[in-house]
Amino acid sequence: MRLRRLAETVSALALCLPLLASPSRAETPVDLALPLPEQPALVLDGLTDVAIPSTATADAAPQTAPSQEIASQEAARPDEAEELVTGTLSAGQPKDEPRWDLGLPVPELPPVDPALAARPAMPEIVLPPLPEFAVTIPQGLELSGLIASRAETALALPRLAPRERADIAAAYAAHDNRPFWIEDGRWSAPARQLIARFEHAAEDGLRADDYAVPVISAGNRDSLAEADLRLSALAVLYARDARGGRIDPRRLSRMLTPTLALPSATEVLSEITGAADPGAVLAAYNPPHEGYRRLKAKLAELRADRPETPMVRIPAGPALRVGMQDARVPLIRARLGLGPSEEQVFDRSTATALAEFQRKAGLSADGVLGDQTLRALATSRSARLEGDIVAQMERWRWLPADLGESHITVNIPEYRMRMVRDGRLAHEARVIVGKAASATPIFSHRMDHVVVNPSWYIPPSIMKNEILPGLARDPDYAAKRGYVVTRRGNTVSVRQPPGERNALGWIKFMFPNDHAVYLHDTPNRRLFAAEQRAFSHGCVRVEDPFALADMVLGPEWSKERLKKLIGSGERTIRLPKPMPIHLVYETHVVDEAGTLRTFGDIYGFHRLVRAALERG
């Protein structure tokens, strides 16, 4: 502290001396020299040879304070700063002269370990040279960048939606964009199994051309990356086609409303990339039902027996009806198998044979030779039948993979209902289905309750087409038929109370759906005797409804007990377990003996499906 005070005092003195010694700038010189008080001599402890003068005058040359001298010399010689701190007060003192002792204690160092001092120096370690080796990058990583950049182009299949393409690209990204199917510049064994499935796609009524596999070149990495992506895209497309994705039924008709179980691209790739046989996994997306397998076997049989007698070619011309003359009539008769004839009149026998041909071909059986019938006559029987079977196989894809161990099926073109219990046929009956103008819709649902003594609430379509025009003609139109008319503002509803004349009969089977159709009884049971039974407004009328109720409600509600409820008021009974019900449209059925049976295309749905498939 004393040393610090000394430095501060000397610094202040050094600043004042130049000011006192410099001449005044005023025009009249003024003597500002003032006598300074005598300063006591300053002596530093331990520094016996240094003394600072105690007096200074304005006339004397300015003296440099020790602190100024030290600071200036420290700036001039930074390397000597340490000397000033350790005790050298004279900055100009040579380094080899004795330094001033400041009385600081000398630090004690630990003694040197003799063992370390005597230890010889470590010898130099020479590392052996590293062997040369080559690093081979796996081809999967080599293609990863190309797969990421080529995804958009390689996945651009016409019938593959953007969502599926994005899912495939995401699957590759999760796999670090490494290939799934390429190994060492060629297809892997799993890839070859997929390719084999594509080549046999026609066996399931699909088109092999839709799954054309790209040709790869082992030396072309761009080709390999795109081929791997394309094979994944083809696998996804095949799986969706096998589940019914080739055509959208709802675009063909508003009465075709099945719920398609189309798999996502993520689901397909996750299953096939981890499978021992991805081809078999892909084939399993086709319907597993016995009816489908029989059709598949019949298709293979037809293709094996394809050679047949040459077709009779019938030239184009105007439409022919009964009584018309045309030079093509002999050719038409020959094509229909009526035998040779020179008669050129299109008679009734020719029209009848043509109508039968039209029925089997799924055409309108009107006996008129139009353009559509002419095209069908120009097609060989086997080729036409193949197309029919493929169209029917396609409709099997609309059904759930699991129909239910116990379920009900209504085949509309056959006018037949069947109930399967525990995998076996338990009951079947004739049914009446919707007219062509009010077709019974095609879909699957679950029956959950039965109503005994039901009321019939007239649906909007019947209200518009029948009830309202009838009321306009006759105000008592509804009352005469036992209907109850209710008016709420501008809304009119009509209900038919339970009773013997009720259009639903004594019982109905409910499976709530968007079409408001169901199975029910009918008071007009004589209609079941007709061969063609398309008479309803869309619902399905069952020939023996109480026998069906006995089957679906279980032993607690026998047929006899249910009949005792007739006339006692409306009663709702829940099924012990909801039962799947499928309203289907099978125009071509192969029975257990392998015989192909055909039924009329009463709504033209078969023709629509076949035409859509042929358009691609």
Q: What's the pLDDT tens digit per position in 387-398?
A: 999 999 999 999
Work out the pLDDT band at 36, boundaries 50, 70, 90. Answer: low
Structure tokens that stand for 166 in this block: 């994005």
The one-letter amino acid at 355: A
Q: What is the mean pLDDT of residues 162-177?
A: 95
How many Å apart are CA 462 and CA 223, to the nearest integer?
62
- Which of 49-53, 113-117, 462-466 shows the highest mean pLDDT? 462-466
Work out the pLDDT band at 67, boundaries 50, 70, 90. Answer: very low
How many Å apart are CA 289 and CA 507, to the nearest integer?
31
The runs of H, that is alpha helices, within 249-380 are 249-252, 265-272, 278-283, 290-304, 329-335, 348-360, 371-377
Give, as one character, the DSSP assignment of residue 586.
-
Q: 386 or 27: which carries more pLDDT confidence?
A: 386
Residue 9 has pLDDT above 80, yes or no: no
> What is the per-residue pLDDT for 96?
53
> What is the per-residue pLDDT for 436?
94
Q: 600 or 55: which carries more pLDDT confidence?
A: 600
Residue 15 has pLDDT above 70, yes or no: no
For residue range 272-319, list pLDDT tens digits in order: 998 999 999 999 999 999 999 999 999 999 998 765 555 677 888 999
- Of 449, 453, 487, give the one whose Cα is nearest residue 467: 487
Q: What is the mean pLDDT of residues 22-44?
A: 51
Q: Is 594 exposed, middle or buried (0-12, 13-18, 19+ CB in 10 A)?
A: exposed
> What is the per-residue pLDDT for 58?
40
Mean pLDDT, rounded, of the chain? 83
- Of 549, 545, 523, 560, give the one whose Cα is nearest residue 430: 545
DSSP helix/strand/coil, 71: helix
Work out the pLDDT band at 359, boundaries 50, 70, 90. Answer: confident
* DSSP output for 90-157: -TTS-TTSPPPP--PPPPPPPPPPHHHHHPPPPPPP-PPPPPP---PPPHHHHHHHHHHHHHHHHT--
Q: What is the mean pLDDT of residues 140-151?
A: 83
Residue 70 has pLDDT above 50, yes or no: no
Work out the pLDDT band at 211, boundaries 50, 70, 90. Answer: very high
Buried (b) or exposed (e) across 313-347, using 16+ Cβ within 10 A?
ebeeeeebeeeeebebbbebbebbeeeeeeeeebe
CA 5 vs CA 11, 47, 264: distances in Å: 10, 16, 90
> What is the per-residue pLDDT for 42?
52
> What is the per-residue pLDDT for 135?
54
Work out the pLDDT band at 13, boundaries 50, 70, 90. Answer: low
Lay out the sheet containing 456-457: strands in order across. Answer: 456-457, 491-496, 484-488
> What is the per-residue pLDDT for 65?
45
> What is the per-residue pLDDT for 103?
64
How many Å apart are CA 20 and CA 431, to the nearest integer?
135
The one-letter amino acid at 570: E
- Locus of tokens 């196989």: 393
Q: Are 417 and 551 a contacting pair, CB within 8 Å?
A: no
Residue 94 has pLDDT above 90, yes or no: no
Work out the pLDDT band at 34, boundaries 50, 70, 90. Answer: low
How many Å apart are CA 363 and CA 371, to the nearest integer?
11
How many Å apart are CA 589 and CA 515, to the nearest integer?
27
How many Å apart are CA 441 and CA 165, to the nearest integer?
33
For residue range 539-585, list pLDDT tens digits in order: 999 999 999 999 999 899 999 999 999 988 899 999 999 999 999 99
> What is the per-residue pLDDT for 35?
58
Q: Are 239 and 263 a contacting pair, CB within 8 Å?
A: yes
- Which strand (E) or helix (H) includes residue 510? strand 507-510
Q: 170 or 83: which carries more pLDDT confidence?
A: 170
Within 171-233, strands assigned E span 182-183, 186-187
> What is the per-residue pLDDT for 76?
46
> What is the per-residue pLDDT for 338?
86
DSSP helix/strand/coil, 462: helix
Residue 340 has pLDDT above 90, yes or no: no
> What is the per-residue pLDDT for 235?
98
How many Å apart are CA 394 and CA 244, to the nearest integer?
7
> What is the per-residue pLDDT for 30?
46
Structure tokens that stand for 176 in this block: 């670090």
Q: 215 or 136: which carries more pLDDT confidence?
A: 215
Q: What percent of the chain has pLDDT over 90?
A: 56
> What is the per-residue pLDDT for 410?
98
Q: Please state the length of the chain.
A: 616
Q: What is the mean pLDDT of residues 396-405?
A: 97
Q: What is the mean pLDDT of residues 8-20?
A: 55
How many Å apart are CA 540 and CA 583, to the nearest integer?
10
Q: What is the mean pLDDT of residues 382-407?
A: 95
> What is the per-residue pLDDT for 51?
46
- Of 586, 464, 570, give the one whose Cα is nearest residue 510: 570
Structure tokens that stand for 455 in this block: 């009321």
